Amino acid sequence: MNTLIAIGSLGILVLLLEIFGARKTIIPVTIIGLLATLGISLGGFSTESGPASFFNNMIVEDKYSMGFSSLFILLTIFIVLMSADFYNKEQKKLPDYITVKLLLLFGGVAMVSFGNLATYFVGIEILSVSLYVLAASKPENIKSNEAGMKYFLMGAFASGFLLFGIALIYGATGSFDMEVIHQAGMSAGVEDWFYIGVAMVSVAMFFKIAAAPFHLWAPDVYQGSPTLTTALMSTLAKVIAIGGFYRLLNGMYGNFSDGFITTIIVVAILSMTIGNIMALRQDNVKRMLAYSGISHAGFMLMALLAIPNGAGNLLYYATAYALAGIAAFAVIIAVTKNKDDENIISFNGLGKKNPVMALTLTLALLSMAGIPILAGFFGKVFLFGQMLEMGYTTLVIIAVVNSIISLGYYFKLILAMYTKSSTEEMPATSSIYTVVAVIATIINLAIGLFPDFILTMMA
Amino acid sequence: MNVSLLLVILLAGALITYFSSEKLARQVALFVSLVAFVATGVLLSQFQSGVSVDVMAQWISKPNISFYLKADGLSLALTLLTTAVTPLVIFSSFGNSFQNKRTLYALILFMAFAMTGTFLAADGFLYYIFWELSLIPIYFIGLLWGNGDAELRKQTMIRFFIYTFAGSLFMLVAFIFLYQKAGSFLLEDLYALNLTSSEQFWVFLAFFLAYAIKIPIVPFHSWQADTYQSNPALGTMLLSGVMLKMALFSLIRWQIPIAPDAAAEYKNFFIVLSIIGVIYGSILALRQDNLKKLLAYSSLAHVGLIAAGTYTLTLDGFRGAVLQMLAHGFVIVGLFFAAEIIERRFGTQKISEMGGIRSQAVWFTSVFMILTVASVGLPGTFNFVGEFTLLYSLSQINIWYAIIGGTTIILGAFYMLRMFQHSMLGETNTKVFADINIQEKVVFVIIVAVLILFGLYPKCLNDLIVPALEETLKHIK
């Protein structure tokens, strides 16, 4: 609860600072505020004994919510750090952007600490509206407009599905409260439309995490949005959506029917396969990472099969994926700063021009590909191990094959950096991108060396 | 003192090299590798005097993964090979001029670190991590400092990477499966498992894919010749001298004792497959005009024989395999260095463009001759001990295996001596061939000394490895 209040107040504080003409202090204040919030959230692990509920169960805080909230806050810190330089041509709008990002975080935290479907819906709407705004935040750019519009139209549909699903669940159980819904979901006599409701909610969430075949918006929106927004979508927004989805299913529904399990498996397989195969053909780096994100969504969906024991592995995978994404995007923003597009050609010769950035991007991509000793490797191993334990051998084999395919496009970028030469000068950029990329990479390596830290969080 | 010190030296050395200056990188790397070699010697003497140098620490609690390094005769012998070959390789490259030396030598030390870790690790997961880590530096070494057309090299190296990476993922799946049975990745726990015969079969097969690609055993060898050819000399030396041995070593340490019944049941199949590799490699070597490729195919033949000997599941087979791993490690490094010297002077890898070196470079011709006959397995050299023991173990299973496998020596003598004849003898080449300098002499003298010393007195190595191999054999019975 403290986390939510802190984030909300921080957002308002940023607006107040602007009113009182202290624009220069916004970013430092936000960073300090978020660090303090991260402290509160992580501190909860040592003091909290069991779940705590607030406002008639509207909000329930437990280890799951605190673990994921901490991850979201960490990612927001990185994104806010990069905002200072990214928006330096639009200083006037900076407070708006920061506030929108804090509100987005607020929505995200609500989505992993809800005790009531109403909170969940409000959370996801705050998240989505913030994302629509950020996607379209370059009004003079036609592509950004297209991205915002596409995302809004598709997102509105998904929200409709979600709301309709929630209504059906309410119809079947007579309550929005997760406790009541859980009881009803576990009992045999629940009405049929409960399951229809669950299916519709799932469709909405598949859309939000960009799992195939609900992924069609992702490449265009990722490509068209300003790069920092793409970074936010592919890291923060994606892990929020998957974290919320897991909690939703975990909360209302204990024993899946075979049909539902099959659906998740099929969606997971489709996502990883389609994402990987399409990524192989891309020349635009943002688009490539969009498809790579689709395939990672497929991997993360596997954790849903392990409900109620998949939380630790999901958090680990999400952290590894998001940190690698942040590091990768920090480099991408720096490299493509004054370019019209993000073609892979821009990365030619980066290994010579800026070895530190090239190295961090390489490590980030290797982490996503699942090469030891980076965190992405452990994420995959833990997930695959759990799936094998549960007997999903075919799924694991397909996932392994997909991991091999993914090497193809990650290495395309690595090869461009090290083997091609370019006469173009590297644009002069703020050192903050290097700092963010290096810190994210160090955390990535650290959780690779000490995975216990995250895994035991959820235990 | 324990074996983790060795890993610390090599890893810290890689970092120091990376942050040293472009001028000093080479010397720093050489110094670090020599320190590692001395440290190996100290550890070895400690081990010989009965002091345990193992390391055991909890790393990840759930799943249960430990930082467990086990030093027995087997792993120490291979560690010694790694730390002895690394300074030789680094020193041998003093005659080359490379761009960006800091990164190159840091990668070499990092690779030595990963390979040493692979030999020492006795927790399956830790082992897997080291195994994979060793792949990354060699990929970049080949890609960035290799020879020939850049596009072609890129394809070759990515094929090598994906090939080996794909193979090892199956090994990872096997490890995860074993973990589910045993609740731990520790070598001892995995040995103690009682798997059904079908489970053993699948585990054996998954391991086999990873190792057959790395060794390589026909038909999984297609990456090898191109990769050797396009790597810079020091990359090829590390690959053929040490990295292949990781897989051969793993047969004895991991694959066979974990799935002993499957190994016993299908051993004839795998022996035959390995022997096919021997013949196949020899025949391909016969037809080669490219010196580096010829050495690659001869290597294919030699490691095929080692694999065949290992799959006999006898003490002699294991013993011969380990001895031959060490012998082959040294001789192939020497041969690739000789090829590199010719390439430095003549600028070609084609045997048909060489010739007439003997009259210009007496020293070089002499050491090259010794290396050639050692590679063929002439009595008195280390390789003779290895090959003879391997063939003897094969003859115990089936005399035909030994006879057919023995063709490696006959065919080997044929193509190696023909290669020697065409490249060294004949009329004086119009091009000038300067004799080897003092630095090159040092490398050759050390290698030749090792080959002859252990050829005459293999007992000390034998005494080191036999207890460990007997221990392993207990799990197979």
- What is the DSSP track for A281-329? T--BHHHHHHHHHHHHHHHHHHHHHTTTS-HHHHHHHHHHHHHHHHHHH
B85 in any annotated domain: no
B454 in any annotated domain: yes
Q: Which of B453, B357, B395 is nearest to B271 (CA)?
A: B395
Out of A382, A384, A407, the one facing B165 most closely (by C-beta) is A407
A318 in any annotated domain: yes
CB of B245 closer than 8 Å to CB of B329? yes
A-B contacts (CB, under 8 Å)? 63
CA distance to partner chain A, nearest, from residue B279 (Å): 32
B420 in any annotated domain: yes
Q: Which DSSP letter does residue A234 get?
A: I
Distance (Å, whole) CA B119 – CA B69: 9
B198 in any annotated domain: no
pLDDT in tens, B68-78: 999 889 999 99
Cα dihedral A289/A290/A296/A300 (nearest 10): 140
CA distance to partner chain A, nearest, from residue B223 (Å): 17
pLDDT in tens, B384-394: 999 999 999 99
Mean pLDDT, chain B, rounded, equals: 89
Whole-number percent of chain B with pLDDT over 70 = 99
Give residue A254's pLDDT. Answer: 66
User: Which residue out of B11, B15, B59, B60 would a mutagenesis test of the A interface target, given it has the greatest number of A Cβ atoms within 10 Å?
Assistant: B60
Amino acid identity for residue A295 in this structure: S
β-pair type (A52-54, B65-69): unpaired
Q: Is the pLDDT of residue B197 over 60?
A: yes
Q: Which residue of B has its CA nearest to A388?
A: B177
Contacts of B38 (CB under 8 A, 6+ apart): none
The CA-atom distances, in angstroms, between A142 and each of A130, A139, A145, A290 are 19, 7, 5, 20
B158 in any annotated domain: no
How far is C-alpha A330 from the geometric centre of its chain's CA atoms? 16
pLDDT in tens, B215-257: 888 888 888 888 888 888 889 999 999 999 999 999 999 999 9
How far is C-alpha B126 from the geometric centre of its chain's CA atoms? 20
Distance (Å, whole) CA B11 – CA A369: 23
Give residue A98's pLDDT. Answer: 93
Q: Which residue of A has its CA nearest to B171?
A: A400
Which chain B residues have a beta carbon less than 8 Å from that of A377? 129, 132
CA distance to partner chain A, nearest, from residue B166 (Å): 6
B200 in any annotated domain: no
Give residue A270's pLDDT. Answer: 95
User: Which residue out of A313, A403, A419 would a mutagenesis test of the B interface target, given it has the greatest number of B Cβ atoms within 10 Å?
Assistant: A419
Distance (Å, whole) CA B154 – CA B149: 9
Q: Which residue of B has its CA nearest to A372?
A: B129
Look at A404 and B165 and tell me if their CB atoms are within 8 Å.
yes
User: Which residue out of B11, B152, B169, B199 would a mutagenesis test of the A interface target, given it has the greatest number of A Cβ atoms within 10 Å?
Assistant: B169
Out of B129, B158, B170, the one facing A373 most closely (by C-beta) is B129
| Boundaries of domain holding B324 | 267-477
Look at B154 and A415 and tell me if their CB atoms are within 8 Å.
yes
Query: Which ranges in B134-258 belong to alpha helices (H)?
Result: 135-145, 150-182, 187-192, 197-214, 224-230, 233-238, 244-250, 256-258
Q: Which of A228, A421, A396 is nearest to A302 (CA)?
A: A396
Distance (Å, whole) CA A20 – CA A357: 38
Out of A372, A385, A450, the one facing B176 most closely (by C-beta) is A385
CA distance to partner chain B, nearest, from residue A296 (Å): 18
A375 in any annotated domain: yes
Q: How many domains does chain A have?
A: 1
Q: How many domains does chain B have?
A: 1
**For residues A142-151, b (16+ Cβ closer than 10 Å) or e, as one string?**
ebbebbbebb
CA distance to partner chain B, nearest, from residue A404 (Å): 6
pLDDT of chain A, 459 residues: tens digit per residue: 888 999 999 999 999 998 998 888 899 999 999 999 999 888 877 665 677 888 888 898 888 898 999 999 999 999 999 998 888 888 888 999 999 999 999 999 999 999 999 999 999 999 999 999 999 988 888 889 999 999 999 999 999 999 999 999 999 888 899 888 888 888 877 888 888 999 999 999 999 999 988 999 999 999 999 999 999 999 999 999 999 999 999 887 667 788 889 999 999 999 999 999 999 999 999 999 999 999 999 999 999 998 888 899 999 999 999 999 999 999 999 998 878 778 888 888 888 888 889 999 999 999 999 888 899 999 999 998 889 888 898 999 899 889 889 988 998 899 888 888 877 777 777 889 999 999 999 999 999 888 888 877 776
CB of B137 closer than 8 Å to CB of B110? yes
Instruction: Classify residue A93 as left (phi > 0), alpha (psi -120 to 50) or beta.
Output: alpha
Q: Is the pLDDT of residue B100 over 90?
A: no
CA distance to partner chain A, nearest, from residue B232 (Å): 15
Question: Cα angle at B53 between B51 and B57, to 5 degrees?
Answer: 135
Chain A residues contacting B via beta carbons under 8 Å: 366, 371-373, 377, 381-382, 384-385, 388-389, 396-397, 400, 403-404, 407-408, 411, 415, 418-419, 450-452, 455-456, 459
Out of B150, B162, B180, the one facing A404 most closely (by C-beta) is B162
A393 in any annotated domain: yes
Look at B60 and A451 and tell me if their CB atoms are within 8 Å.
yes
B22 — pLDDT class (breaks 50, 70, 90): confident
B209 in any annotated domain: no
Which chain B residues have a beta carbon less than 8 Å from that of A381? 125, 172, 176
Look at A385 and B62 and tell me if their CB atoms are within 8 Å.
no
Which chain A residues have a beta carbon less than 8 Å from that of B210? none
DSSP H or E run through A1: none
3-state secondary structure of A20: coil
CA distance to partner chain B, nearest, from residue A389 (Å): 7
B440 in any annotated domain: yes
**For residues A19-36, b (16+ Cβ closer than 10 Å) or e, as one string?**
eeeeeeebbebbeebbee
Out of B144, B162, B173, the one facing A407 most closely (by C-beta) is B162
CA atoms within 13 A on the CB side of B471: 13
User: Which residue out of A393, A452, A454, A458 would a mutagenesis test of the B interface target, given it has the greatest number of B Cβ atoms within 10 Å?
Assistant: A452
| Boundaries of domain holding A296 | 256-459
Distance (Å, whole) CA A408 – CA A400: 14
Give residue A399's pLDDT. Answer: 92
A274 in any annotated domain: yes
